[in-house]
Structure 1
Amino acid sequence: MLKKFFILCSGSDSDILDTCSNGEQNKYAGIGATVFFTAIMAFIASSYALYTVFDNPFIAIGFGLIWGLLIFNLDRFIVSTIKKRNQFLDEVIQAFPRIILAIIIAIVISKPLELKIFEKEINQVLLEQKNDLTLANKEQIAKQFNPNINSLDNDIIALQQQITTKEAEVNALYNSYISEAEGTAGTKLLGKGPVYKEKRDKHDAALAELNQLKAENKEKIASIESQIVNLNNSLNSEIETTQPIIDGFDGLMARVNALNKLPWLPSLFIFLLFLAIETSPIFAKILSPKSEYDFKLEDAESALNTRVERNVKERNILLETDISINNKIYNDIANEEELYNYKRKKARELMQLQTDAFFIKQQKILK
């Protein structure tokens, strides 16, 4: 039962193969088994690849089954259309486009399996890429907010500088009136005279201005700091909004690109393995000598060609004979007087009917 199934997978003529030896049947059963298991691998590979895209096992398995059947049909078609010829070069020319198709199929099958085999290494590469993307994303978003934040920081520094400058002025006035009282500067008269009072008044006025400036700038700084907090919150919110996009950067194309960053030699060997599996039935048919099945298939095809050619020739001869007989019959009756008189009578009746119809039509027009 299993042998018959694999023979069916090989695309060979089971009726002819049943008349061949067991060795010949086993050969084509092996070819069919290769076609079948290649389709199984295609199903597994495509299901995994589609799972990374849709993240749904049912969708992945459904489309993977369709893809596996498609690959099975293509492989079966490739193998079944290769026939042994009398010239090796003719066989190579016949197989060349099928080999190209087999290479394409091998690439399509091997790539998803490579993604699964090197999954851990690919995840490491993707993690590094995600980290780089996260840093780049933060820098890019920060460029939108940093100018405003820096401008507000400069405003705070300017307000604080105003307070510092005013404090220095107040301290200078304080030292001035103290020195005047001690007699170490100014008039150098010890005691609290008119000059001392004048300088003390200037200091007190400057101190009041300083206190007022501190109160005003404190409110301004608090308002500016509130704006900075809002901008930082918007910055963090923007980063949190875009971060899931970066976290989801592990689709099929991202994994393929990550695979290309890994050493190429292991991937090459996996591809060559599937290429050998995919092309082995083709090369087995090309390199193997003409066998019992090939001779019987050629005999059946040649018998069919001969029968078709014979039928075509017989139909052509029958057509030519029928035309010749018809020509002879019409030539014989063309000279008969009875047929001539009959056709003349019918022609006269037809012309009379046409004349009557024309007359009736003209009468209607004139009325």
Structure 2
Amino acid sequence: MRFRRGRIGNGMAELAGARPDVLAAAPGARARFVALGGVLLSTGGLAAVSAAFAVHMALGVWWPFALLVGLGWGAVVVNLDRMLLVGMAHDSSLKRNLVMAVPRVGLALVLGIVVATPLTLQVFHKEIDAEIVVMQAEAADAHRTSLEQDERFAHLPELEERIAVSESIVASGGVADTGLAVVRAEVTAKQAVLDQAVEVSRALEAKAQCELDGTCGTGEAGTGTAYVEARAAADAQAAVVDTARSELDAAVDAASAAESRSASLAASSLETDRAELTRLTAELDRLQGAFDAQNEGSGGILLRLEALDRLGDKNATLAAAQFMLSLLFMCVEVLPVLMKLLLNFSPPSAYDKLAALRDTGDVEIEELAQESRKTVAIAKEELLVLAEKERVDRQKEAILARRRAALAEVAARTQAPQQTPAAPAQVEEPSRAMWDTGPIRELARNAALRTVRTVRRRPEDRVPV
């Protein structure tokens, strides 16, 4: 168990950017790097949960798939935070630390905002859902109003009113038609004339009767002159009444005919208006239904953010809670970079010093290796030049020896009778081949091999001078 905890701690330290070779020489820094690794994992876990909520809210995907996407995003955030930490080496200069920290803190702040937004939406999801219902109802009403004001449906209220009037005209047999007011006024006028004529006729009839009875007028009963005159006036007025009655009957007949025509026209136009009303109403309902379906399914991140802003405008307490919660999530995301920045402002630790020494030693060892390779190359070239010179000198000596031998042979043939037998010539050492450079090449090869073996040693086995 202890071994497993040690391996986990080492892995978290390496995740925070610790170098295993330096950490082995400075174990006191292990706790600091393990803590930084834990902070990185915390930010990665927070980012994974945030991405899972965001994918589920925006796309409505299955939760296991959303969790997989969230884990991938968490790994990306951990990698980015690790890159920000590793790139901030310890430096005692305030100016250089600020120059390195400003872009890194800015990037971490952007990541924090991205991570904090879905989490904040999830925390206030109940209030947001209630506000979304209100917003969807308002959007549906606004869309209905815009459709009613559309030129395609602008005459729909007029059409409905015309259908209602036609239905009332048909139901009343044309009596409810307001367009027949003139005809009805003519009937009313004729009726008034008839009523007046009838009233006058009744008065004249009464006067003639009372003249006949002697109860009025002259007071003499019988068919006298007064009676004859009263009777003539009553008969003349009866003719006027008959004429007024006939005119009234004609006006009533004309009004009835007009009402019949109005009812038939209303009945004929009623079917057309009803068909047009049915078509426009169906089209209006179709457009409204399509919008309602889209409106009810538009509960994405954008609508939720708008709902949260509206809630913040209405409720100051909720706005303050939203701000503090977002700030908390952003601080958690920025925390690794801030911790690394604060550690850079502190005095260099043993780990920092050893890391700097290792880096300097590696540079010096590499410089020595480069110098050694350069020296070996120069030595090889010099040995090759010496070997070539030796080969050329041997060729020259061989040529001169052959020439001297030829001259000696010619001189011996010329003075042969005068000289005594010569001593046996010494056997010359057989000459080497032109390409044989002798022991010099072998010495050069051995020296090169020794130099190469020295250069190939591992940097940690060598001690810098």
Tell me whether the two structures share a fold, i.e. TM-score over 0.5.
yes
Deviations 1:93-117 (A, max 9, x none): 3333322221122111111111112
For the 8 Å contact 1:174–1:200, the answer to whether it is kept is: no
Q: Given the alignment, which residue of 237, 248, 255 partners 1:189?
A: 237
Say if 1:98 and 1:194 are closer, same or farther in 2 by CA, change over 3 A.
Answer: closer
Q: Percent identity?
A: 18
CA drift at 1:330: 7.4
Q: 1:58 aligns with which of 64, 72, 80?
A: 64
Quick check: 283-292 or 260-269, which moved more? 260-269
Q: Which segment drifts farther, 132-141 or 147-156? A: 147-156
Decide whether the 8 Å contact of 2:190 with 2:244 is kept in 1.
no
Alignment of 1:171-182 (within 5 A): 171-177=188-194, 179-182=196-199
1:275/1:211 Cα in 2 relative to 1: closer, same or farther (>3 Å)? closer
For the 8 Å contact 2:143–2:288, the answer to whether it is kept is yes
Give per-residue Cα distances to partners, 1:133-165, cap 9 Å, x unaligned: 112101111122442324435655698322454
Contact 2:183 2:251 in 1 (8 A): no
1:276 to 319, 331, 354: 331
Aligned residues: 336
Letter in 2 for 1:148: H
1:316 to 374, 393, 403: 374
Given the alignment, which residue of 20, 30, 38 partners 1:33?
A: 38
Q: Identify the residue that residue 299 of structure 2 maps to in structure 1.
A: 250
Query: What SS is found at the alignment partner of 2:90?
Result: coil
Match of 1:306 in 2: 364
Q: Which amino acid in structure 1 is aligned with residue 340 of structure 2?
A: I
**Could you tell which deviates more after superposition, 131-140 or 250-259?**
250-259
Normalised TM-score (structure 2): 0.63
Q: Tell me how far apart the structure 1 counterparts of residues 201 and 124 of structure 2 sit (CA, whole Å).
A: 87
Change in Cα spacing, 1:115 to 1:331, as seen in structure 2 (3 Å) is: farther
- Alignment deviations for residues 9-67 of structure 1 (CA, whole Å, 9 cap, x no partner): 3121133223333x421111111100001100000001001101121113311211110
Q: Deviations over 1:302-353 (max 9, x none)?
A: 1111111222223334444555666777789899899xxxxxxxxxxxxxxx
What's the counterpart of residue 107 of structure 1? 113
1:167/1:210 contact within 8 Å kept:
no
Higher helix share: 1
Of 227, 230, 233, the residue aligned with 2:276 is 227
Unpaired segments ≥5 residues, structure 1: 339-367
How do 1:157-168 and structure 2 match up within 5 A? 160-168=177-185
| Residue 211 of structure 1: aligned partner | 260
Separation in 1, partners of 2:242, 2:355: 136
User: Which has the higher Rg, Structure 1 or Structure 2?
Assistant: 2
Letter in 2 for 1:312: Q
2:129 aligned to which of 113, 116, 123: 123
2:80 counterpart of 1:91: no
TM-score when normalising by structure 1: 0.78
1:207-263 deviation line (CA, Å, top 9, x unaligned): 233223223223323542443243233322321121111112221122223334425
Structure 1 residue identity aligned to 2:237:
L
Cα distance in 2 for residues equivalent to 1:194 and 1:268: 95
Alignment partner of 1:143 is 2:149: yes
* C-alpha separation in 2, matches of 1:219 and 1:102: 76
Which of these residues, 153, 159, 162, is aligned with residue 152 of structure 1? 159
Q: 1:255 to 1:194 in 2, by over 3 A?
A: closer
State the match for 2:442 in structure 1. none
Say if 1:92 and 1:286, in contact at 8 Å, map to a contact too. Answer: no
Instruction: Name the SS of the counterpart of 1:189 in structure 2.
Output: helix
Once residues 328 and 384 of structure 2 are traced to their aligned partners in structure 1, the CA distance between those partners, rounded to angstroms, is 70
Contact 1:173 1:199 in 2 (8 A): yes
Q: Using the alignment, how far apart are the partners of 2:254 and 2:245 within structure 1?
A: 14
Residue of structure 2 equivalent to 1:24: 29
Q: Which amino acid aligns with 2:156?
A: I
Shift of residue 124, structure 1, vs aligned partner: 3.8
| Counterpart Cα distance in 2 of 1:181 and 1:83 | 123
- C-alpha contact (below 8 Å) 1:41/1:109 kept by paired residues: yes
In 2, are the aligned partners of 1:82 and 1:285 still within 8 Å (CA)?
no
Letter in 1 for 2:324: F
2:180/2:258 contact within 8 Å kept: no
Q: Which residue of 2 aligns with 1:288?
A: 346
CA 1:239 to 1:49, structure 2 compared with 1: closer, same or farther past 3 Å? same
1:365 counterpart residue number: none
RMSD: 3.3
Specify whether residues 164 and 154 from structure 1 end up closer, same or farther in structure 2 by C-alpha distance, changes over 3 A only. farther
Residue 6, structure 1, aligned to residue 12, structure 2 = yes
Native 8 Å contact 1:39 1:69 kept in 2: yes
Q: Could you say if the C-alpha distance between residues 220 and 321 of structure 1 is closer, same or farther in structure 2, counting changes exceeding 3 Å?
A: same
Q: Which amino acid aligns with 1:61?
A: L
State the distance in 2 between where 1:12 and 1:122 align.
Answer: 44
8 Å contact from structure 2 (residues 112, 330) kept in 1 = yes
